Structure 1
């Protein structure tokens, strides 16, 4: 503003003493106005071009919603994290780490994949065993339904490391697939690193798909009539699912086979406007991610059912100079459990804090200063 005033003052001074200067000034002003007009026109053209590019890029956008379902501890969260190569979903070695429906958003090129990390369905005995609230079962069914209503495809995660359950898809999963027969699905055989025999895996594929993929794959060594008869039986089968579009064999932990699913989902994506900006990775708030990460690591470091009796609460959260500062309090039902969490000379609590901090640095991609404190409710 001061610079403009000085220029106006100089123009006024010239106009009183020099007529020729006025003429030169007039010519200069006309030239300036012309340049300014051209610049404004160029700016309008640039804005118009940018708008056209934006419209074009939106028109080229592709989207795919994937509901990842399976029994507790099948490896759903680990699968999502390693597939998108970003730690978004808290994980642990125990069941019921995921208690709420959680979205992980992955954007690459013109395609956006939205993964719905669903909690494992529970029975009444599991609700009591793992200290879940009484509405957990109905809530998780609701979470499943919410994810499946928005899903373009269903990814069924099946754990093949457990010999007693590997040959049968869980009834809760089958019930879900039957309830949404119009939503295409594919099967993921997870934890294949636990099986050394390829023959066993191929046999599992045959059993779990009732010998067919969407009724299109023939059974080896059988005639057309035998295949038709087998297909009729598979539709009536209550043990497994005959309508999977594809089957993938992976190890979510080591990353083996994940690139095939990555490319498969990108190719399956449909022309549609993205639901989230390209720099958004989750629908969880940072505060929720911190609390859930603490709860997940408590599951890893504490024995048996003890961690399910604990409650984690965020006491403080702030971000300053690109550093996150957070404090979480763990509420313990007894002083004995509080001492167990802390360990000798607070050694275990320090280990938990270091591990959670490492997890959160991966999640946020920035430094974090984390404090975890314990409090006994009997004090």
Structure 2
């Protein structure tokens, strides 16, 4: 049985790679493609008249970075939830349109050193934003205009990360959640304070609602126009640098954060136990939720497992949008207590 599962996993991964990163002779002839190694020994795609742009979106936790990137790329690839620290490490999400490719780098929310120590956060919370800024052609600083404590000042944590910015990189100020402001004149006040009091020089300013999509088209068009003649980093059909398995696990974790109260979802570990892609493209997955407390299991399995079913349905909806195919997800629960299991 174990050998069979491993064989299926290998075949599914191979199918997925061919599907997303295929470079058939017909495609090469159509686009006049060739693959080369850049100075960092990274495989890049060279095609005639290609334009490329790498964009880093940075900001404080829960400012809406992942939601904005999902809107910009028109796919829900980046995990999102209403709680902080949903994004644990850098995600690269790819958007290709005509002759232009944009790679968006989603990063963990910038966190003060004492908070990292207090909550035992991974080093990625410190390293990934700085590394993304160093790679980026365009850097977008995302400000939550509904947070009255942080909206009129660029955080010192952000300023410190911007030290790794290239001299030729553009800097954008992106005001998010503008749909929630009752008085629109407040936006002008925020912009005045951010531009007059900050030492940063912004190349442009955008006002968006990542949740509703307002203003996102203008930002996307600006970035498409900003792309320079350069080799593509990904094939046309690619949409992320993450494996399919990682996207599934991270989406499950994000939906746990959305549907469970307080600290409970942070204590649940996710593990992909089964993964398969059928001939018609349907993706099937079984994800194990490992709980270290009996009350966490109860929260998932109460009311005949209704919370577990609700979470599974939310995960399927997100993944269908991300992968553009039918997705079936089953969740099972395991604990150190006597084993209980409930599948969708």
Does the 8 A contact of 2:130 with 2:162 survive in 1? no
Deviation >3 Å, runs of 4+: 50-53, 123-130
Q: How many angstroms does 1:87 deviate by?
A: 1.2
Secondary structure class of the residue paired with 1:346: helix
CA deviations over 1:323-378 (Å, ceiling 9, x no partner): 11110011111111111122221111111111111111111111122110111124
CA deviations over 1:115-166 (Å, ceiling 9, x no partner): 0001112235544665x44xx1x32222123212221010111100111221
Secondary structure class of the residue paired with 2:286: strand
Residue 370 (1) aligns with residue 329 (2): yes
Partner of 1:285: 243
Q: Which of 71, 93, 99 matches 1:82?
A: 71
Partner of 1:54: 32
Does the 8 A contact of 2:59 with 2:141 survive in 1? yes
Whose helix fraction is larger, Structure 1's or Structure 2's? 1
Matches of 2:156 and 2:304, distance apart in 1: 47
Secondary structure class of the residue paired with 1:66: strand
Partner of 1:151: 136
Matches of 1:208 and 1:169, distance apart in 2: 7
CA deviations over 1:249-271 (Å, ceiling 9, x no partner): 11010111111111100111000
Does the 8 A contact of 2:134 with 2:164 survive in 1? no
- Count residues in correspondence: 299
Matches of 1:349 and 1:179, distance apart in 2: 43
Q: Which of 111, 126, 136 matches 1:141?
A: 126
Partner of 1:17: none
Q: Which of 205, 217, 230 matches 2:191?
A: 205
Does the 8 A contact of 1:69 with 1:120 survive in 2? yes
Matches of 2:307 and 2:115, distance apart in 1: 28
Cα 1:308–1:372 change in 2 (3 A) is same
CA deviations over 1:153-200 (Å, ceiling 9, x no partner): 101111001112211121111112244262321000000011122211
Unaligned runs of 5+ in 2: 1-24, 35-45, 339-344
CA deviations over 1:23-48 (Å, ceiling 9, x no partner): xxxxxxxxxxxxxxxxxxxxxxxx9x
Secondary structure class of the residue paired with 2:61: coil
Q: How many angstroms does 1:51 deviate by?
A: 5.4
CA deviations over 1:37-96 (Å, ceiling 9, x no partner): xxxxxxxxxx9xx85961699231000000110011110010011122111111101111
Does the 8 A contact of 1:129 with 1:305 survive in 2? no
